[in-house]
Structure 1
Amino acid sequence: MRFISQIAGRYALQRLTGALALCAALILASASTAAAQSISIVSDAETESMLRDYADPILRVAGLEPSAVKIHLVNDRRLNAFVAEGQQMFYNTGLITIVDSPLELIGVMAHEIGHMAGGHLVQRREHIGQLQAPMIASMILGVGAIAAGQPDAGMALILGGQHLAERGFFAYTRSQESSADQAGASYLQRAGISGKGMLDLFASMRDQEMLSAERQDPFARSHPMSAARFSALETRVKASPYFERELPASEIHRFKMVQAKLHGFLDEPNTTFNRYPSSDNSDYARYARAVAYHRTGALSEALTEIDPLLASDPKNPYIHEVKGQILFESGRIEEAVTSYRQSVELKPEDSQLHLGLGRALLGRDGEENARAAIPHLLTGTRGAAQPFGFYQLSIAYGRLDDIGMAELATAQYYNALGRIKQSKMHAARALKNLRQGSPEWLQAQDLAIQADPAERG
């Protein structure tokens, strides 16, 4: 698992949420407020592979091309998920660790895909634009009335305009949420998946509404579940011929392994040991404890937990990957290379496994290892904004004294983080050291001339 620096503004401006306040001051300041927000992205090959396997069948029946939809993992303990423009899907780690079953997670995915396929994000922004004009007009009239010595009438105009806008907005979002429910339920049925998990999770959201706003999960706040909405969803889901269909035991095991891994990496080690005591010899308990022991520096204990997992499931690429990470971060580079290489051999199509092997090869000295690492790092970064991979590439090219490619990789690194000013600076340096007209030169040129949102103001 890799932690990526916080990404500000680029996604926050686009996130789909029902928690927008429609007073004029917030509307006029919405762009600057959102740009100041940030989300923390983490990257984990196993978790993202599972999310992709769950999402792709639903995306297909929704008429969306799975390869065009990007899935991101957000390091946030709260139960939440959202979509953004550009066919971006975001899932909190808290959502994955809190839900009780894969079907609940799949239900959330189906709902969010309902928003994406329905174009709700664009529609909502357009609707907000339609509400702004009359609300701002009422504000102007209200301010004029106050200036004319009629403060009561002026405040009534201002508050009345805000109230009407809020009512219009929330009525509209409730309609969109119900639409996403029904679309999601339809997609699940077309994909032959039970909607029971969706129903179970949304039923629990009704209990969330009894809590104060600060104690509610963000998903419950942005997806208010009225009795009528739940009843309509229940009718639709239970009508599916697949309602009673269960997932195979292997899928439940896979889900619990991912949950355990996330707990191991993201919770305090003592919390993990309490959650998965030594008396629990299940695979997922060993997985969590292996990671927790590694985080405390107890290498021997970590290997004692993970080796039995490999003995029972030697063809699991992700257990090999975790062992590789444990060994690499403990300074046992040669053994780490072996583990990472096994993970890549077992699942060569997983780009993130190539990134791990590339990093491990760079852990060795010498130009030969830098050259060996580059193909894996290029595979890991192809078609993806991978700050980690671009950073490793800059190191590899730097060892080979290939200044142009090192500067290009550095420009790509900053671009992936949304730091456009730094990206353009390094891209300009790359252009001076790359053959004009080459594919790499063209990549650097694109980065050098890109618009910086901060410069646009």
Structure 2
Amino acid sequence: MKCKALVGKHLIAFIFAVSFLAGWSRPADARSFITDTEIELYIREIATPIFQSAGLSPSAIDLYFINDDTLNAFVAGGQNIFFHTGLLMATDTPEQLLGVIAHETGHIAGGHLARSGEVLRNASQNALLGIILGAGAAIATGRGDAAGAIIQGSQSAVQGSLLQYSRAQESSADQAGIRFLESNQESSRGMLEFLSKLIGQELLSGRSRSPYASTHPLTRDRIAFVEEQVKNSRYSDEKLSDELQQKHRRMVAKLNGFIRSPARTFKAYPDTDTSVEARYARAVATYRLPDAKGAVALVEELLADYPDDPFFHELKGQILFEAGRPADAESAYRRALEALPDAPRIELELSRVLLALDATEYNEEAQTHLENVVRSLPNATFAWRQLAIAYGRNGDHGMSALALAEEAFRSGNKLDAALQANRAKQTLKPHTEAWLRATDIEEISTPRDRDRKRKQLSEKK
């Protein structure tokens, strides 16, 4: 699991570099985005049938995870769902999380944020995330100035309304969510249980109040409606599979291990608890003490029982790499990628290790992996930076400059993007695909005709 704190005015430029720069070797800062393949795959697994029932393409919906201890989830900017880690850890079962997902999908299907204003519609994806965090900070604290370091210029126009839903929209999302659950023969009891967690939040104010209660008005009518559905549905006693129950417990344990203090994790998951998720949480907490040797020993015990688990291999690789043992980390990451080949973030982690080993054969392999990564994660700016290093070491300086141009362009640094693109064009063969891409970046990153070229470049993607 990786994270990147959101600090100062350069926050937006780094959102998509999330966390390939540093692991959770120390307590995570508040209000950051995290990336985690295991958690995203689990949530997508339970959410995909809901998205399909709503007539949505699962691949078109982006999931984001915000390291924030409060209970909140929301949609914004179209088909983007945001989850606070506090909400994920507060759900006791996958059915409760599925109820939240069904409700938020109801907001997407209902187009409830389609008219959030010209600023939001025209915002880039990076800027959108900055707006969302700024608005969320204002809502959570009750202070408009809380968003000051995040929202810049005219974007603050949506600060007060971006995440706010009306009572009518909430009821509509509940109805749609239950319809999606019913169509998949799944219980809405989890939705009711989660709403029950929020009872009383409407009476609170300021910092004591859950952001979810602020952005999603909770009424007795809503609860009564869901209660009636649970009472009458033939699927109310349906449970998700034992495998999904296990994946949910692992998600909660993993988040506890990386986000909570080690002492708190050890208390929640004592040695007497021999479940897989408890052992997982203790391994992560031990790594964060920091005790790399002890953490590796705990992970190896898990691997003795589950030798093909990609995420245990991934954790072992992270611990070893951050302990200054890249050669050992390489083997762990290879095993992780072998067990889960379609995992670009794990492939990126392996590439970083290969570049750290800095041998000709490793640099060439890293380049191949990184080219795969940027095709899957084109906005992962850290991957472009690593690819630039790989190209440079392999003697392809034109492509190295183009990769740096991509990094700068996707970070919003138009000046550097134009400079690097121009540099790339001096070396690349004219009229090749790479040369044309460099030309596009250079032109869109200069003031003249920027809006026209931005539109053209977007259409080419």
TM-score, structure 1 as length reference: 0.78
For residues 238-253 of structure 1, the aligned pairs below 5 Å read 238-253=231-246
The more displaced of 362-371 and 444-453 is 444-453
Residue 114 (str. 1) matches residue 112 (str. 2): no
Match of 2:224 in 1: 231
Residue 374 (str. 1) matches residue 379 (str. 2): no
Cα shift at 1:9: 6.3
State the Cα deviation string for residues 385-407 of structure 1 (Å, max 9, x = none). 21232222122122223222222
CA change 1:426–1:220 in 2 (3 A) is farther
Residue 92 (str. 1) matches residue 84 (str. 2): yes
Are the aligned partners of 2:165 and 2:217 in contact in 1 as well (CA < 8 Å)? Answer: no
For residues 326-365 of structure 1, the aligned pairs below 5 Å read 326-365=319-358
Match of 2:125 in 1: none
CA change 1:289–1:419 in 2 (3 A) is farther
> SS of the counterpart of 2:273?
coil
CA change 1:430–1:215 in 2 (3 A) is farther
CA change 1:66–1:184 in 2 (3 A) is same
Amino acid at match of 2:208: R
* Whole-angstrom CA distance in 2 between matches of 1:446 and 1:42: 31
For residues 304-453 of structure 1, the aligned pairs below 5 Å read 304-384=297-377, 385-450=379-444
Amino acid at match of 2:245: I
Cα shift at 1:368: 1.8
State the Cα deviation string for residues 252-292 of structure 1 (Å, max 9, x = none). 11111111111222222222222222333221122122122
Structure 2 residue runs without a partner (length 5+) = 16-29, 122-160, 452-461
Residue 2 (str. 1) matches residue 6 (str. 2): no
* Whole-angstrom CA distance in 2 between matches of 1:51 and 1:344: 20
State the Cα deviation string for residues 88-127 of structure 1 (Å, max 9, x = none). 222122221122111111111111111111111113549x
* Whole-angstrom CA distance in 1 between matches of 2:374 and 2:78: 19
CA change 1:60–1:274 in 2 (3 A) is same
Are the aligned partners of 2:78 and 2:113 in contact in 1 as well (CA < 8 Å)? Answer: no
Match of 1:202 in 2: 195
Larger radius of gyration: 1
> SS of the counterpart of 1:331?
coil
> SS of the counterpart of 2:56?
coil
Cα shift at 1:434: 2.4
Q: Which of 81, 84, 91 is the aligned partner of 2:73?
A: 81
Are the aligned partners of 2:74 and 2:163 in contact in 1 as well (CA < 8 Å)? Answer: no
Amino acid at match of 1:235: E
* Whole-angstrom CA distance in 1 between matches of 2:357 and 2:63: 32
* Whole-angstrom CA distance in 1 between matches of 2:189 and 2:272: 33
* Whole-angstrom CA distance in 2 between matches of 1:270 and 1:78: 20
* Whole-angstrom CA distance in 1 between matches of 2:14 and 2:81: 10
> SS of the counterpart of 1:42?
strand
* Whole-angstrom CA distance in 2 between matches of 1:241 and 1:212: 38
Cα shift at 1:170: 12
> SS of the counterpart of 1:363?
helix
The more displaced of 430-439 and 225-234 is 430-439
Amino acid at match of 2:239: E
> SS of the counterpart of 2:115?
helix
- Work out the number of aligned pairs and report it: 391
> SS of the counterpart of 1:315?
coil
Are the aligned partners of 2:165 and 2:216 in contact in 1 as well (CA < 8 Å)? Answer: no
Cα shift at 1:76: 1.7
Amino acid at match of 2:276: D
Residue 280 (str. 1) matches residue 273 (str. 2): yes
The more displaced of 84-93 and 302-311 is 84-93
For residues 40-79 of structure 1, the aligned pairs below 5 Å read 40-79=32-71
* Whole-angstrom CA distance in 2 between matches of 1:200 and 1:342: 39
Are the aligned partners of 2:166 and 2:217 in contact in 1 as well (CA < 8 Å)? Answer: no
Are the aligned partners of 1:4 and 1:43 in contact in 2 as well (CA < 8 Å)? Answer: no
* Whole-angstrom CA distance in 2 between matches of 1:8 and 1:177: 31
TM-score, structure 2 as length reference: 0.78
CA change 1:40–1:238 in 2 (3 A) is same
* Whole-angstrom CA distance in 2 between matches of 1:118 and 1:198: 18
* Whole-angstrom CA distance in 1 between matches of 2:234 and 2:430: 61
CA change 1:258–1:85 in 2 (3 A) is same
RMSD (Å), alpha carbons = 2.9
Cα shift at 1:183: 0.7
* Whole-angstrom CA distance in 2 between matches of 1:190 and 1:74: 30
Cα shift at 1:358: 1.3
Match of 1:185 in 2: 178
State the Cα deviation string for residues 323-379 of structure 1 (Å, max 9, x = none). 111111112222211111111111111222211221121121222211111222222
CA change 1:298–1:326 in 2 (3 A) is same
> SS of the counterpart of 1:120?
coil
State the Cα deviation string for residues 7-62 of structure 1 (Å, max 9, x = none). 856999xxxxxxxxxxxxxxxxxxxxxxxxx9632111111111211221111111
Cα shift at 1:437: 2.5
The more displaced of 349-358 and 277-286 is 277-286
Cα shift at 1:433: 2.9
* Whole-angstrom CA distance in 2 between matches of 1:171 and 1:398: 48
